[in-house]
Chain A
Amino acid sequence: MKSLIALLLPAALAAQQPAPAKVAPTLIKNATILTVTKGRLDNADLLLENGKIAKIGKNLAAPAGAQVIDATGKYVMPGIIDPHSHTMIDAVNEGTLSVTSMVRIRDVLNPTDVNIYRQLAGGVTTINVLHGSANTIGGQNAVVKLKWGRDVDEMLFPGAMPGIKFALGENVTQKNGQQVALATGRPLRYPATRMGQEEVLRDAFTRARDYKATWDDYNARVVKGEKNLVAPDRNLELEPLVEVLEGKRFVHAHSYRADEMLMLLEIAKEFGFTVKTLQHGLEGYKIASEIAQAGTGLSTFADEWSYKIEAYDAIPYNVSILMRHGVVATVNSDSDERARRLNIDAAKMMRYGGLTEDEALKTITYNGALQLGIQDKVGSIEVGKDADVVIWTGDPLSVYSTAQTTFIDGEIFFDVQRDQAMRERMAKERIALEAADRPGRRTSPVVP
């Protein structure tokens, strides 16, 4: 039964394709290329070779064995980067403690989540998979390339900066669930206020600083050649926080209200690290210059608001105000649904605050790469970068355009024609399987 169902799923079909030993080069011809960092090129060609963008120019020659795609009238842009995703994960929150820095999203990544495929069909190639926002210091995130059909190891973004999720505000205080907690006898978890959240952060980083000092002392004595030393105990909770202190791990902090964001920026300053991104940061526009001064980025919704108290002052001008103040700002989905149409969310930023086309595109590509520390590899169309590009039927900032072909490392992971062929194949297969499953031979369904 299980294998029967597996056969019906596109996941299974995709999983049947092993990674080819060598990907054939692809030459995309006569496209409008939106490089994002170097403007727009009309009637230009793009050569993808060995998983990289090999050449950009006019009248490029196709190397031997290359597949050539005529993209006349079509647009090519870098693969979309979604800086805030919960796609692929079998668990979102380890929310039982206030500090769960020891848990890792990579341990719960499910490579057969069909939402990967749906997002590829929306031109997305890289996602930042984050722990939920149940606790002040959450788990470690994973940056993933949406290589549909491959193992998790192949999907993890090579060389992406490690990161960790923090969270402030209503989700952490659990005020919205407090009535439920009181009614059901579920114990309230500390912290229940923003005061407590500051204290949890201060306490955790104070402990992390001591832990680091203990190891630094030990390592110094090892270097000096002292004998018979006993190494300090490892602490999996504090190790990631030491990495934060050392600038080796990015902090992505869920936050809504301006005051809580300022609190976190002050803590970071005191302990000597930089918060890489404020996630959501819906009131970021109220303190744009403070965020810019801290060197912190911000990743937000295009136009979601009013769904809870701390989202009531959210405005779609957030991105434009932050950008004009010099903050690296992005638009994210935080949703399997919205992730499929981030191009439209980017276009909204032109309406609300007057971003240029390139600025709007940056909010879903290059700026996301900056926020994840992968700007040398993805986020724009430049020679030498990963061949993560998408061919669109028209201007991707138009609601009337759709992604036609999505490449990651030069390989096609979504193509609208292949999708059509797969549907027909699956329809035939379904008919065959249903015909084979005659009443006389039917076995009881398995109840999990």
Chain B
Amino acid sequence: MMRLFRYVVALMAVLAALPIAAGAQLGSYNPNPGPQGTFAIRGGHVVTVSGADIPNGTVVISGGKITAVGANVAVPSGAKIIDATGLMVYPGMIETGSSVGLSEIPQGAASTVDISEVGSFNPNAQAFFGIDPHSAHVGVARVVGITTVVSRPTGGIISGQAALINLAGDTPPKMAVEPRVALVVQLPRSGFGGRGFARAAALQQGQNADANRVRQAQLDSLRDLLRDAAAYEKAQSAYAKDKSLPRPAHDVVLASLIPALDGTMPVIFTADRANDIRDAVNFAEEMHLKPIIMGGAEAPDVAPFLKQHNVPVVVTAVMSLPSREDDPYDVNYTIPAKLAAAGVTFAISTGNPGSEIRTLPYNAGMAAAHGLSKTDALKAVTLWPAQIFGVGDRMGSIEAGKMANVVVTTGDILEAKTDTKYLFIDGRQVPLDNKHTELNALFKDRP
């Protein structure tokens, strides 16, 4: 017994000596946020995004919302004061091209990847049910000031439904802002890739004709499915009104397409090439869908078309290499500037599944270094993605009444050297510890 006691004491001493960062918890690298308290962030340079900057402003947070913003704002009694003197206050950034929580380690750990369902048509595969709130990517991304992401499935023709989630909370329901925010479609592509030799070779061997036949068949299947869903909706609502009609069988797949068909749920079309973008928009109009273009590398080439059809673009290609050898070196850096000049609605995204979404601000910064204004660059990762995904009235700027997703930084939030000092998501203060800070703390002073 004494021996056991000694052993326990020794073990406790060892455990006490381990420099585990505050807030860490067994089984997760993402410490939970605190309660929805009342906070007053005072003395910082407030970048509201929706309006003018407030050089020495106060932001009051209470009950999960921003309740007041301004230069002379009364601080409620009992509010926890956050001194932001010399700091900057921003709305949280929003990454809309990710698959956060669906794919942890893409190579060599297949069981950590739940990003693509089997088969071509999976409208009822919901990212919401596959998101791992304890993904280490969550804690790492939010400390650069990304408070919200769209996480989407990929693959097939209808990949499934994307979720819009906050990067805080230990269950998917606690994270979700819009559990079903958009349908994800990869429209079959036209023709064979490229120009020049590749295209010539494909034509000569008749591959283009084959590819086009396959594509037409896939498009027809997609049309059929969408028409079936529309007919299903008609039958169901007719039956709801008149129970004397034969009762139509329920079908979860067709039912899941109805929000997209009635225009309440936008449809993400992945498309980079000009032709593919045009095809997606035309297809969406034909089937009465509300399209969002994801990718958009050649969106500037069809900018008047996009503006005319009022279709927004999530640009994931800012940091991509030019796709053609004779493209200008900055052809992709300048996509956002060209879209802004043409009046096309857009957001900037990394297009990365999860681990690298923390580079979102530098994608926006790179666009600003190549012709986009700094204020538009910031909007392209805050207010505009919120608006594109239908939550612009709830987040994306620092305004009274909006969800309190607020970041307090040491400087310009798009600069790589800037650090985050305080983070609030849904009005809760979020600890800044994550997998990387913990490993840093464990090893930085190792002799």
Contact = CB atoms under 8 A, between A and B. Distances in A.
Interface of A: 5, 8-11, 114-115, 117-118, 121, 170, 175-176, 285-286, 288-289, 303-309, 312-313, 315-317, 320-321, 324, 336-337, 340-341, 344-345, 347-348, 350-353, 360, 393, 397-402, 419, 423, 426, 445-448
What are the 8 A-B residue pairs with the smallest beta carbon separation, nearest first? A399-B365, A347-B416, A306-B355, A445-B200, A308-B107, A350-B417, A317-B440, A315-B436
Interface of B: 104-109, 136-137, 196-197, 200-201, 204, 319-322, 325-326, 328-330, 354-356, 358-359, 361-362, 365-366, 368-370, 374, 414-419, 435-436, 439-440, 443-444, 446-447
A402 B439 contact: no
A317 B436 contact: yes
Nearest to A286: B443
A400 B109 contact: no
26 contacts: A5-B196, A9-B325, A11-B325, A114-B326, A121-B330, A176-B108, A288-B443, A303-B359, A306-B105, A306-B136, A306-B355, A308-B107, A308-B108, A309-B105, A317-B436, A337-B319, A340-B329, A345-B416, A348-B417, A351-B417, A360-B417, A393-B369, A399-B366, A399-B369, A400-B415, A402-B369
Most buried by B among A9, A285, A353: A285
B137 to A, nearest CB: 7
B366 to A, nearest CB: 6
B418 A351 contact: yes
Most buried by A among B136, B366, B369: B369
Given A306-B137, A348-B417, A399-B416, A9 B106 contact: no
Contacts of A10: 326
Given A9-B325, A308-B107, A351-B417, 16 more contacts: A5-B196, A118-B329, A285-B439, A286-B443, A288-B443, A303-B356, A306-B137, A307-B105, A307-B355, A309-B109, A312-B105, A336-B321, A347-B417, A353-B444, A399-B415, A401-B369
Contacts of B104: 306
A118 B197 CA distance: 23
A333 to B, nearest CB: 12
Given A117-B329, A306-B136, A321 B107 contact: no
A348 B417 CA distance: 5
A157 B355 CA distance: 36
Contacts of B374: 400
B368 A399 contact: yes
A246 B319 CA distance: 43
Contacts of B361: 399
Nearest to B144: A351
Contact of B197 (A320, A337, A353, A447): A447
B187 to A, nearest CB: 26
A347 B354 CA distance: 21
Contacts, number: 137
A6 B443 CA distance: 53
B362 A289 contact: no
Contact of B415 (A289, A306, A347): A347
B210 to A, nearest CB: 17
Given A10-B326, A307-B105, A321-B443, A448 B414 contact: no
Contacts of A304: 355-356
Most buried by B among A289, A352, A360, A401: A352
Nearest to B356: A304
Contacts of A337: 319-321
Contacts of A320: 444
Nearest to A302: B416
Nearest to B325: A114
A288 B447 CA distance: 8
Contacts of A350: 416-417
Nearest to B136: A306
Contacts of A400: 365, 368-369, 374, 414-415
Nearest to A447: B201
A285 B443 contact: yes
Contacts of A419: 328-329
Most buried by A among B105, B108, B201: B108
Contacts of A312: 105, 136
Nearest to A13: B326
Contacts of A344: 362, 365-366, 416
Nearest to A305: B355
Contacts of A303: 356, 358-359
A341 B366 contact: yes
A285 B444 contact: yes
A316 B436 contact: yes
A447 B108 contact: no
Contacts of A348: 416-417
A410 to B, nearest CB: 22
A397 B325 contact: no
A347 B355 CA distance: 19
A380 to B, nearest CB: 21
A176 B113 CA distance: 14
B439 A315 contact: yes
Given A176-B108, A399-B368, A447 B204 contact: yes
